[in-house]
Amino acid sequence: MGLSPRPEGDWQPPILLASARDQVGISEVCDVLEAHQAFLSGERGRARRIEGRDRFIREELLRRYGSFGFSALGGDPRLREICDGDVGLSPYGLLEQLSLEIEAALAKSERNR
């Protein structure tokens, strides 16, 4: 859904007509939900989730620490290094790990003044 074109191979949500009251279209909704789950489990869905996770973490770090704090972390290269590593953390766990790194780097730079 939306007005902008989707990349080829991206999930294209169908428009369905369904009514629980009239018992119409329910099996079609279930079929589409299963198809969407299969898409999300595939490589394209995984890539979209990773892209969204990385964007969330970057934006949140910039919101919390600004460009100065983000640079103290090592900027995008360090963010990529952490996010690309399979550390088994949720996006919030990754955000916490990177926040601790930024705070340690900022404290170290403050001590060296």
Domain ranges of the chain: 49-111
pTM > 0.75: yes or no: no
Q: What are phi and psi of 15, to 5 degrees?
A: -100, 120
Cα separation of the two ends of the chain: 53
CB count in 10 Å sphere of residue 61: 21
pLDDT tens across the length of the chain (113 residues): 556 677 777 888 899 999 999 999 999 999 999 999 988 888 888 888 888 999 999 999 999 999 999 999 899 998 888 888 766 888 999 899 899 999 999 998 878 77
